[in-house]
Chains A and B, each alone.
Chain A
Amino acid sequence: MRPRAAYRVFRVVALTLVVLVLVAPLLWMISASLKTNVDIYDPDKALAFSPTLANYAKVLQQANYVEFIVNSLWVAFAATVASLVLGLPAAYSMSRFNMRKSALVVLMARVIPGVSLLVPWYYVFSNLKMVGGFGVLIISHMFVSLPLVVYIMMGYFDSLPAELEEAALVDGLTHVGAFRRITLPLSLPGIATAGILSFIFSWNNFMFALVLSDADTKTLPVAIFDFVGYASIDWGGLMAAATVVTLPIMVIALFVQKYVVSGLTAGATKG
């Protein structure tokens, strides 16, 4: 039993270290967001400082962050809903009819570097007078979230027994009716997984909004990037802005941990 005990001690030490390395930087960011810029520059006040919400007040009121939060929410929500509407039937068809080649076309979107599409997109959408609008942002974010939805839901539909749909057909439903009334309700956990992941990826997306948004439609990641001016950095404000974008998504992820994990690992164990 001696080696087992030694292993247990080792595991506790190693995993404590892992947790510390993963969490400490995030806690440091949050603590810096609660400090005045004077305290941030003072190593003696690393932990012993009097917290202030001044940075948040500054970011939310002066820097218009409420508007960017609303933009981010709206774009992520719309891109997620639209991706589900297009992606669920597609994933279903690709799973049931075994359309692996078609699926590959959709999954290509996950492989291609976004930059290689941005110039043509910019050209087309600026001719359509859409650059800077929400429409183009939602479309570009869908380009990320739709393949994600298809990928996750194909695996989910693969695992649903076809017998249930057959029973529904016997009871007089059409194939489309069986999909709508039997398969979709049974797939709610999968849909939740796909939806949550799609929302997170859209919320975090930076590059597309960097090119395609304007001052009124800016999303949070772009707003944070713009916070860094050419002069000295307002660290307190910057950390408050970074916390505003990351904390909500981390809290949500904790509540729906199971779904996030199953979405991120979707398809990994099929071999």
Chain B
Amino acid sequence: MATITTTRTPRGAPAVPVTPGWARWVNDHRKWLFAAPAMVFVAALLVFPLAWTGYLSLTDAEGSVRAESEFVGLRNYLDVLSDTDRFWPAVGRTATFTVAALLFEVVLGMAIALLLWRPFKGQRWVRVAILLPLVATPVAVGMMWRLIFDPNIGLANQVLGWFGVGPQPWLAGQHSALPTTIFIDVWQWTPMVVLILLAGLTSLSEEPQEAARIDGAGTWQRFRHVTLPLLMPTLTVAVLLRGIDALKTFDLLYSTKGRGGGSFHEVETLNVYAYGLSFDYNEYGVSSTVLILFFLIIIGAMWALTARRKEARR
């Protein structure tokens, strides 16, 4: 596509009418004039604050952002990395939340996308239903599930009651809170995976499917050896996009369990932990350390995924 973009005035074309000098200058420098404002905006809000966060992570800044702080070297890192009380459990929860949510979302998303692949009557309505959770405000979604999962008056325990299952504590339970938030995340974001995979499925050509069918491949074989390999690039995009967002989940956790991820830190992931350190306790130094480590984890995860993607493309 991009090969045709080096257009100059084609031969035989009438000369461009006289344009003022500044307009020609704008025209000649359009590449960077067009791109620069957006890039400067993002860079200003991104690079400098990140560098600052990196610097803060080496200081004992706390209390007020204006207060004097001292350079403490790597002490914060040593403290944080040896903190088995809050930091490592938060790493564990972040990993559990992300991996579990991703796993359910990809498996369910794939199943639903396959069901929706071939057109049928009423498909429109299913697509509408799929879009709704996706655009709903996460904080409102959190509040909605708080009511549904309320141990005393919630719909969830009523429904369980119909099947003779006793009431569950859901979000209120020390061990059930994290799985419950994973369920909510799956409810809200599986549709995203469905939409992406469906777009991928519809762009696949029919021929390999036909060929496999003629060769006598069954439904599962066709899926496993034809559809899935062809869909791999799309699947990787879905996992990448969803994975990044799942790692960063904040709205849902903060709106269902509040500060510190609940009184026992049941749902305190790295993001919630760092937010609490910064804005509930004003421990900017330690918080920055946690964030830098979190950031390294994200980069590492992304790097691993894109490396796999490149491998898959070969």
Contact = CB atoms under 8 A, between A and B. Distances in A.
Interface of A: 8, 11, 14-15, 18-19, 21-23, 25-26, 28-29, 32, 40-41, 43, 46, 86-87, 89-90, 92-99, 102, 105-106, 108-124, 126, 139, 142-143, 146-147, 150, 158-159, 162-163, 165-166, 169-170, 172, 174-176, 179, 200, 203-204, 206-207, 211, 220-221, 224-225, 227-228, 233, 235, 238-239, 241-243, 245-246, 249-250, 253-254, 257, 260-261, 264-265, 267-269, 271
B143 A265 contact: no
B16 A206 contact: no
Given A93-B30, A115-B278, A264-B195, A162 B7 contact: yes
Given A112-B50, A169-B10, A97 B140 contact: no
B304 interface: no
Interface residues of B, number: 107
B139 interface: yes
A43 to B, nearest CB: 6
Q: Which 9 A-B pairs have the closest CB atoms?
A: A120-B49, A90-B38, A93-B34, A89-B34, A271-B233, A242-B140, A116-B291, A265-B199, A93-B35
Contact of A174 (B23, B133, B192, B302): B23
A225 B10 contact: no
26 contacts: A22-B129, A22-B133, A28-B148, A46-B155, A46-B158, A86-B37, A89-B38, A109-B45, A116-B288, A116-B295, A119-B53, A143-B46, A146-B41, A146-B42, A159-B1, A172-B16, A174-B27, A175-B27, A176-B26, A246-B136, A249-B135, A250-B132, A253-B132, A264-B134, A265-B195, A269-B200
> DSSP majority for the B interface?
helix
B142 to A, nearest CB: 9
Given A169-B7, A176-B27, A90 B35 contact: yes
A113 B291 contact: yes
Nearest to B19: A174
B150 to A, nearest CB: 8
A11 B115 contact: yes
Contact of A26 (B43, B132, B203): B132
* Most A Cβ at <10 Å: residue of B138, B140, B148, B258: B140
B42 A105 contact: yes
Given A95-B2, A268-B241, 14 more contacts: A19-B126, A22-B132, A29-B144, A40-B147, A93-B32, A93-B35, A119-B284, A120-B56, A200-B135, A207-B251, A220-B137, A233-B146, A241-B140, A243-B140
